[in-house]
Every structure is written in C-alpha cells, then in structure tokens.
Amino acid sequence: MSERVAVDLKVNGTTHRVSVPAMRTLMAVLRDDLGLTGTKNACDQGVCGSCTVLIDGAPARACLALAVALPGIAITTVEGLAQGDTLSPVQQAFLDAGAIQCGFCMPGMIIQATALLAENKRPSEDDIRHSISGNLCRCSGYTKVIEAISLAASRLTP
C-alpha cells in the first residue's frame, strides 16, 4: 500500500493528471491507469526490455521508474510513435522485414530502435546488436529485427 499522489504525466504529448499510489511504477500507471497496454511487463526487473519507453527522449525501463518521480517529463510509449494510421518508419520496417512474431517484446524493441536511430543515423550491424542487447526476444534469432532496423535506417537516411 502506498499513499496516493497526484502527478501530471506527459505521455505521448498529452498531459494526464493521475492520482496513483506512490509506489506504482510507470509501467503500471501506463497500463492500468492510462490504458496504454502496449508497454509490456515481462520481467519487472528491468532485464528483458519489454517495457522500454522513452523518458525525456532516452530509452528507460518503465518497470523501474516510479510514476510520481516523473512529473511533467516527456514520456513516449509505443502508442505514441505512429501518426494516426501511418506507422512510424521503424514500425513500418518491422512489418516489412517480417520481424514480428509473437509480438510481446516488440513495443520495447521498437522504442529502443527508435531511440537508436534518433542518435545514430547509420548504425552498423554491431551498433544495432549492442543497442538491442537489452531487449530479449524468444521467438526470433534477432536476425529479422536487425534487418528491420537497418531497413528503417536506410529509409530515414537514404
């Protein structure tokens, strides 16, 4: 149990005033209070990367952040990447490369890849592997994920 605290969370460009228990993680608030269930809980220890979101533009584990400590800070979840019905270039590349299998790790993977490409326009395969090494996937051998990120990079920076 913990006391409820009101906090203004700025998620995907919209500010939401929520009153949540102080100990509730950002992941739980996104999923249970804001209904943004794209952010997945697969280990709650920060190891698997399924809950990766952008906090102030940098990838972070939503399961290891307390929502009340993030008032007014820009948070981007996987739901915030597409523009209306148009997928983001990274999302589209994941589709085109056939990188999506069960899909459970994908929101975190796509967020991580988005952050990588924001910083490194032409990542090498090695850069990509290092970048997503904290995003576990059990369906793939990561091959198509890496292809997808390369594809997105080449489309973003022809």
Partner 1 sequence: MNAPGAPIGLSLPRLEAGEKAIGTALYTGDMVLPGMLHGAIVQSPHAHARILGYDTSKALAVPGVRAVITGDDIEFRYMGLVVKDETAIAKGKVRYIGEPVAAVAAIDAETARRAAQLIEIRYQPLPAVTTIEEALHDGAPMLHEDFAKYAKIYDAPVGRGNLLAHSIATQGDPAKGFAMADVVVEETYTIAAQYHAYMEPCAALAAFDPSGKVTVWSSTQSIFRTQANLHECLGLPMTKIRCIAPRVGGGFGGKSEATVEPIAVLLAKKGRAPVRLVLSRNQDMTAMRTRHPGWIRLKTGATKDGRLVARDCELWFDGGAYADDSPAVMNFALYFVRGPYEIPNVHCEGYAVYTNRMRAGAFRGFGNPQMTFATESQMDALAAKLRLDPIELRIKNALPNGARWFGGQAVTESTLVEALETARTRAGWDKPMPPAPPGKRRGRGVAAMAHSSAFLSTGAIVRLQNDGTIAVQVGAVDIGQGSDTALSQMAASAFQLPVEQINLATPDTDSAPYNSGTNASRVTFMVGKAVGEAAFKARDQIIEHAAAMLGVKRDEVSLAPGGRVVVTGGSRHNAEVSFADVAARSIWAVGGPVIGSSAVMASHAMDQGHTKMSGWLSFEAVGIYTFGAQIVEVEIDEVTGAVEVTRAVCVHDVGRAINPCATVGQIEGGFAQGMGYGLCEEMVFEDGRLANPSFMDYKIPSALEVPKTIECVLIEKPEASHPFGARGIGEPPLVGAAAAIANAVADAIGKPLTRLPLTPERVLRALLAQ
Partner 2 sequence: MTETRFHAPERLEDAISLLSADEDARPLAGGQTLVAMLNADLLSPSQIISLHRIKALQGIERRADGSLRIGAMTTHAVLARSGDLRGAHRLLGEAAGRIGHEAIRNRGTIGGAVAHADPSADYPPVLVALEAVIEAVGPKGKRVIPAAEFFQGFLTTALNLGEIVSAIILPPSPAEACTHYEKFARVEGDFATLSVAVALWGGGVRIALGSVGPVPVRSAEAEAKLFAGQLSDGAIKEASAKLVAASDPIDDVRGSADYRRLLIPRLVKQAIRTAQAKDAR
**Which tokens go with 146?**
């890496």
Between 8 and 32, whose beta carbon lies closer to partner 1?
32
Burial of 156 (0-12, 13-18, 19+ CB in 10 A): middle
Q: Does 105 bind partner 2 (CB under 8 A)?
A: no
Amino acid (one-letter) located at 64 = L
Whose structure tokens read 């080449």?
Answer: 154
Phi, psi of 74 (to 5 degrees): -65, 125
Contact string 108-137 vs partner 2 (x = CB under 8 A): ----x--x--------------xx-xxx--
Q: Does 39 bind partner 2 (CB under 8 A)?
A: no
How many residues touch partner 2 under the rule CB under 8 A: the total is 32
Between 54 and 72, whose beta carbon lies closer to partner 1?
54
Whose structure tokens read 């270039």?
Answer: 89
By CB under 8 A, name the binding residues for partner 2: 1-3, 5, 21-23, 25, 44-47, 49, 52, 55, 58-61, 63-66, 68-69, 112, 115, 130-131, 133-135
